[in-house]
């Protein structure tokens, strides 16, 4: 018989001895904690740490973030991917400012744009001591293996079952440490591949280990099939430019902001001819920089062709394109795929 109290006690003990030392755990400031949780969604801690530091330095208070432009926020976020998180972060910052303070109830926290059950439980327990259990990939894996549960974790029944179990195990008096312990235990001890079962303090009572099912659990239903999408970009460099006042001139390049309803909303890109049936007449003999450059997103694989077109005069482009000095493109937030294109056009010395 599995002892639930033993499980929770061991998680807390393990966390005291092995928990990760992270800067956002050294504060009860809900703003700093909220930033960390949004940044770390779909992001490794090693990468997210750097971005968290950038955000708290650039926007020390939520009022600073709320007052920033979307372009500035997206630029600071550049490289993290899942850009809807950055837009939601910006919107939520404005919500918090409008409220007058960071909400301190679970429902209030969940009312913020981009905050779901897991994130609300994490912020609530870490910042305010709210006894709400977090359930993320690490928690699913630990609970599934320890209790021998084979209900698919991405099914409606599975989500309900694991949420109820996680909440029943939570020691209300130490919710923050327990939640952090569960997350760290899954990330360090009960890992997806090659878990450290021989050194696990829960080994003697782990159902998956007893039944030889560690590699089988947790169970997950098959998800959406990954699709392949082809993209084509032409980097248009116009050499004819007004002098800057000291006898020099700088090429201009054309970019436009991506709209709603597709990937990378709000970010900028060069001339996109991915869906053009026939290239316009001004596109003559573009230089092929790279073909079928692979870029992997969650549910799709992108294969992109990059071209360079140098011209003396600005060609007619759709109204949503703007012309900027080539050196200014660094001031605009672009997707990682376009970063790769820019690196090919202007390789580092």
- Active-site residues: which are they? 37
What's the number of CA atoms in the CB half-sphere (13 Å) around residue 68? 24
Helix (H, G, I), strand (E, B) or coil at 6: helix
For the chain, how are helix, strand and coil distributed in percent, rounded to 5?
45, 15, 40
CA distance 270 to 342: 10
**Residue 300, H or E segment:** strand 300-311
Q: What are phi and psi of 199, to 5 degrees?
A: -110, 15
What span, in angstroms and rounded, lies between the C-alpha atoms of 344 and 230? 19
Strand pairing of 321-325 and 268-269? Answer: unpaired
């Amino acid at each position: 018989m599995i002892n639930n109290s033993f499980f929770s006690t061991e998680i807390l003990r393990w966390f005291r001895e092995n928990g990760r030392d992270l800067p956002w755990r050294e504060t009860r400031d809900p703003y700093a904690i909220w930033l960390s949780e949004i940044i770390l969604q779909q992001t490794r801690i090693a990468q997210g740490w750097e971005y968290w530091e950038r955000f708290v330095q650039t926007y020390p208070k939520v009022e600073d973030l709320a007052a920033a432009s979307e372009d500035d926020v997206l630029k600071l976020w550049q490289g993290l991917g899942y850009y809807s998180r950055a837009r939601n972060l910006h919107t939520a910052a404005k919500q918090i400012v409008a409220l007058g303070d960071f909400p301190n109830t679970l429902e209030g926290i969940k009312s913020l744009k981009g905050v779901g059950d897991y994130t609300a439980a994490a912020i609530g327990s870490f910042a305010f001591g709210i006894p709400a259990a977090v359930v993320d990939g690490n928690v699913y894996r630990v609970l599934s293996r320890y209790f021998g549960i084979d209900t698919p974790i991405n099914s409606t029944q599975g989500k309900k079952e694991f949420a109820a179990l996680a909440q029943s195990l939570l020691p209300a008096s130490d919710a923050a440490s327990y939640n952090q312990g569960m997350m760290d235990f899954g990330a360090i001890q009960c890992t997806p591949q090659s878990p450290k079962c021989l050194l696990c303090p829960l080994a003697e009572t782990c159902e998956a280990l007893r039944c030889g099912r560690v590699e089988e659990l947790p169970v997950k239903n098959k998800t959406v099939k990954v699709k392949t999408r082809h993209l084509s970009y032409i980097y248009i460099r116009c050499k004819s430019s007004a002098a800057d006042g000291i006898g020099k001139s700088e090429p201009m390049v054309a970019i436009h902001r991506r709209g709603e309803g597709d990937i990378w909303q709000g970010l900028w890109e060069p001339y996109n001819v991915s869906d053009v049936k026939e290239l316009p007449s001004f596109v003559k003999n573009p230089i092929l920089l790279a073909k079928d450059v692979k870029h992997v997103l969650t549910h799709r694989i992108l294969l992109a062709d990059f071209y360079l077109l140098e011209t003396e005069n600005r060609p007619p482009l759709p109204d949503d394109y703007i012309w900027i000095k080539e050196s200014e493109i660094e001031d605009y937030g672009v997707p990682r795929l376009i970063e790769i294109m820019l690196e090919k056009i202007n390789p580092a010395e």
